[in-house]
């Protein structure tokens, strides 16, 4: 009994210590935003200032989250309540009401604005109303946040003005979509998650405000996605045409581009009480478990041929899926996948944005995403297994050790180097601290009964009582499906049924996945044969149909260069570049590819190319982001470009700090792309664009680094003196550049 009492005391102390540590971390992040960034949308934690769109270098589609509406403050409001910071909440609501306006001439992401801002306003309104009804505070509140949410909802509605009912991906908050001043409305595609992650916020807005128009539009978008599923597999693709409903990208998974569509089908049933959503979720879920789930992995397949994997890597956004499986009650695969993800974090400190089936880094960034913490919280609540508290503690320790900076927490530019990025997204405060705090809190310690609420995909809190405020829409229908129902197809999961006071069952499942990454074994242990065999099977599938021609994992990326050869550079400036797995193979071109560079309009090349005449016969510059590399390449090739140089939209990235990677395709055959493609990080890209701005005509060579002009052998260096005396006089030419210029002239018949 004494031992048991001591154990209970230590456990209680551990709980308090971790919870206090999380509160201190939240205070550091939130106060840094309020002190250094507010009223800007986001904090730049390395610069200790706010990120204001238009005043900082463009980061591409990442900046579509920013609307000059104090994004981080709104996204954090209901977190303040959950963490019992009620004085700070009341003050933050007053600031929001007094300072935030939505009549801004700015183009924003419909998806991001919905989940972060509209969801944040609704969650905060619900919290404010609860506190007011208790009579202790917020007595001045008169539904101001709800009125703001309704205004924002009306400003998002023009995006739904399409023939299909699927929304445009972007909208101008002041001018809408079709207005000539809107600077948007030319897009033809959107991601499945972008169109299918509106129903919770829009339905809640309708039921709280009494205006049904929001829920009707969100339902329509969900109906279209359901109707457009592949009937043979019951899977959906990643990108869809908003006008005719045709699939643009047919790869299907549970990660980026699709993730929250599945989440919102399940949660729409919980929030709204409409069985149609549950029927649809169960149909999709059966297909996911049949084709995509290959425990512990979740691999993308082709929606029309789902027995074939289309890529050998996974993205970090799928880390939410174990949490969704907990809601459904399917805990065995949830435990397996979560354990695999935990092993990846132990190897790399954080989940990289993408990692291979052999758990190597594919994309190294980590923008402090909360999905792994989310699934950890749900698994602990379902199993009661203290193991998940240890996982949560490791998340806290790694954030403090590897992401904390004097002005907040900074994203990690590459988990392999630990380099920081000047970025702290609003979801870090909105989600990460909610889930970590809840993980180490008892229900009685919270200011609300958490079981009365459902989390949106941004972790905003909406009351499940909304299901009784309005009858279900009778126009919804779902044809009967042939899939076999299980214990939890039409009932909420019971932890007692799943784990009758037996958390060792979860441990048994985890142990079979404990050494997937090779960590934790002794030196004498043999390699993980299961992973090797599994990777071999995946490789055989990939040979049948793949989004790109895959490079073996052990093969190094071939370094390319963009060499500036026109005066005054004459080959002296060479920028390190990454290759693509499709397009012309520069390693097979004896002298590389030469051309003059021209910026694409639009710069992202994700819409119709407006300067095709100017691009004809030239190498195009295009900014990364908004759409896939392959889509950009096709548009620019059709416009007449002879090559494409893609420039990273991530501010401050460079080849000196980030390993090169190979650009991949879009899940479709890429044989039609025949022009050479290279990738520059932003620092190298800035050098190139500055040269173009200053000199207007800039000729470049695209070639492998090993074939760089002017990179001489010792014999060539000894012969250089023979070239210099006969080299024509060029103003500003340093004699040391004579050899490079001579080679350029000889190979490419250029007259200077």
Residues that constitute the known binding site: 457
CA 343, chain centre distance (Å): 21
Q: Quick one: tokens of 273?
A: 């009480």
Candidates 88, 315, 371, 668; catalytic one: 371
3-state secondary structure 41-107: CEEECCCCEEECCCCCCCCHHHHHHCCCCCHHHHHHHHHHHHCCCHHHHHHHHHHHHHHCCCCCCCE
Active site residue 112: yes
Active site residue 259: yes
Q: Which stretch of DSSP H or E encloses residue 703? A: strand 699-704
- CA atoms of 65 and 79, how far apart (whole Å): 19
For residue 10, which phi and psi values (nearest 5 degrees)?
Answer: -65, -40
**Cβ partners under 8 Å of residue 231, min gap 6:** none
Residues 566, 695: contact at Cβ < 8 Å?
yes
Name 607's Cβ contacts closer than 8 Å, sequence gap at least 6.
186, 187
Quote the strand ranges of 200-304, DSSP E.
239-241, 247-249, 251-252, 293-294, 297-298, 301-302
Cβ atoms within 10 Å of 552's Cβ, excluding its own: 6
Question: Around Cβ 6, how many Cβ atoms within 10 Å?
Answer: 10
- Here the tokens at position 153 are 């909802």
Handedness of CA 162, 163, 166, 169 (dihedral sign): negative
Token pair belonging to 51 = 């990120």
Q: Look up residue 250 and give its two tokens.
A: 């047919």
According to DSSP, residue 665 is labeled -
From 63, 189, 353, 699, active-site residue = 353
Cα(386)–Cα(404) distance, rounded to whole angstroms? 26
Q: Identify whether 87 is a catalytic site residue.
A: no
Helix (H, G, I), strand (E, B) or coil at 694: helix
Is residue 302 within 8 A of residue 251, CB to CB? The reply is yes
Report the distance separating Cα 304 and Cα 230, nearest Å: 7
In the three-class reduction of DSSP (H, G, I as helix; E, B as strand; rest coil), residue 167 is classed as: coil
- CB of 306 within 8 A of CB of 233? yes
Contacts 24+ apart (CB under 8 A), 131-135: 131/81, 131/86, 131/89, 131/90
Q: Is 12 exposed, middle or buried (0-12, 13-18, 19+ CB in 10 A)?
A: exposed
Q: Most distant CA pair in the chain: distance in Å?
A: 96
Q: Is the dihedral of CA 668, 672, 674, 677 positive or negative?
A: negative
Burial class (CB in 10 A: 0-12, 13-18, 19+), 142: exposed
b or e along 588-610 (b: 16 or more beta carbons within 10 Å of the residue's beta carbon)? Answer: eeeebbbbebbbbbbbbbbbebe
What is the C-alpha end-to-end distance of the chain, expressed in Å?
91
Q: Which residues are annotated as a binding site for Ca(2+)?
A: 457
Question: Tokens 């040391």 — which residue?
Answer: 736
Record the tokens describing residue 614, joined without a space: 């100017």
Active-site residue numbers?
112, 259, 353, 371
């Amino acid at each position: 009994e004494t031992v048991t009492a001591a154990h209970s005391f230590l456990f209680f102390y551990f709980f308090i210590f971790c919870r206090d540590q999380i509160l201190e971390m939240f205070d550091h992040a939130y106060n840094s935003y309020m002190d250094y960034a507010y009223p800007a949308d986001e904090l730049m934690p390395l610069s200790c200032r706010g990120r204001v769109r238009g005043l900082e270098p463009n980061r591409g589609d990442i900046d579509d989250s920013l609307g000059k509406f104090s994004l981080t403050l709104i996204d954090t409001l209901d977190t303040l309540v959950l963490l019992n910071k009620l004085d700070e909440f009341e003050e933050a609501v007053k600031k929001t009401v007094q300072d935030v306006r939505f009549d801004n001439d700015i183009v924003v992401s419909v998806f991001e604005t919905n989940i972060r801002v509209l969801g944040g306003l609704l969650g905060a309104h619900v919290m404010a109303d609860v506190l007011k009804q208790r009579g202790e505070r917020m007595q001045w509140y008169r539904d101001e946040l709800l009125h703001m949410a309704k205004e924002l909802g009306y400003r998002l509605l023009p995006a739904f003005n399409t023939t299909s009912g699927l929304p445009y991906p972007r909208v101008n908050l002041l001018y809408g979509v079709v207005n000539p001043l809107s600077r948007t409305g030319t897009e033809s595609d959107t991601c499945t998650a972008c169109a299918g992650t509106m129903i919770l916020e829009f339905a809640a807005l309708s039921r709280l405000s009494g205006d049904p128009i929001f829920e009707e539009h969100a339902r329509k978008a969900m109906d279209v996605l359901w109707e457009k599923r592949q009937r043979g597999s019951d899977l959906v693709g990643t990108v869809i045409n908003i006008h005719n409903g045709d699939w643009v990208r047919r790869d299907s998974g549970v990660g980026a581009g699709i993730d929250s569509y599945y989440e919102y089908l399940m949660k729409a049933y919980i929030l709204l009480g409409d069985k149609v959503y549950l029927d649809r979720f169960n149909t999709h879920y059966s297909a996911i478990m049949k084709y995509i789930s290959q425990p512990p992995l979740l691999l993308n397949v082709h929606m029309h041929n789902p027995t074939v994997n289309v890529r050998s890597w996974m993205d970090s956004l799928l880390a939410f899926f174990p949490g969704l499986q907990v809601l459904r009650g399917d805990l065995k695969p949830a435990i397996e996948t979560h354990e695999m993800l935990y092993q990846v974090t132990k190897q790399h400190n954080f989940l990289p944005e993408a990692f291979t089936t052999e758990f190597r880094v594919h994309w190294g960034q980590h923008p402090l995403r909360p999905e792994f913490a989310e699934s950890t919280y749900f698994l602990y609540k379902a199993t009661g297994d203290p193991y998940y508290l240890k996982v949560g503690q490791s998340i806290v320790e790694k954030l403090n050790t590897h992401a904390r900076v004097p002005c907040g927490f900074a994203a990690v530019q590459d988990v392999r180097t630990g380099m920081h990025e000047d970025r702290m997204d609003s979801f870090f405060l909105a989600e990460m601290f909610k889930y970590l705090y809840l993980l180490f809190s008892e229900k009685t310690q919270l200011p609300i009964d958490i079981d009365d609420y459902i989390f949106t995909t941004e972790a905003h809190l909406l009351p499940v009582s909304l299901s009784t405020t309005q009858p279900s829409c009778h126009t919804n229908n779902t044809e009967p499906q042939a899939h076999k129902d299980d214990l939890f197809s039409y009932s909420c999961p019971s932890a007692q049924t799943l784990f009758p006071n037996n958390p060792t069952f979860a441990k048994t499942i985890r142990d079979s996945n404990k050494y997937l990454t090779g960590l934790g074994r002794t030196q004498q242990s043999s390699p993980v044969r299961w992973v090797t065999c599994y990777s071999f099977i995946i490789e055989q599938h990939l040979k049948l149909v793949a989004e790109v021609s895959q490079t073996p994992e052990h093969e190094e990326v071939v370094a390319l260069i963009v060499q500036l050869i026109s005066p005054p550079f004459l080959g002296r400036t060479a920028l390190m570049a990454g290759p693509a797995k499709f397009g012309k193979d520069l390693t097979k071109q004896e002298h590389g590819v030469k051309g003059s560079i021209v910026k694409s309009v639009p710069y992202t090349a994700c819409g119709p190319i407006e300067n095709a005449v100017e691009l004809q016969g030239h190498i195009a510059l295009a900014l990364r982001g908004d759409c896939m590399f392959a889509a950009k390449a096709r548009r620019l090739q059709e416009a007449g470009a002879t090559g494409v140089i893609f420039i990273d939209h991530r501010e401050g990235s460079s080849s000196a700090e980030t390993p090169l990677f190979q650009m991949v395709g879009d899940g479709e055959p890429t044989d039609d792309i025949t022009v050479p493609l290279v990738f520059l990080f932003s620092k190298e890209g800035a050098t190139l664009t500055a040269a173009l701005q200053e000199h207007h005509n800039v000729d470049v060579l695209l070639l492998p680094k090993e074939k760089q002009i002017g990179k001489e052998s010792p014999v060539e260096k000894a012969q250089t003196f023979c070239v210099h005396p006969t080299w024509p006089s060029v103003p500003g030419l340093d004699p040391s550049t004579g050899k490079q210029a001579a080679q350029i002239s000889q190979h490419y018949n250029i007259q200077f």
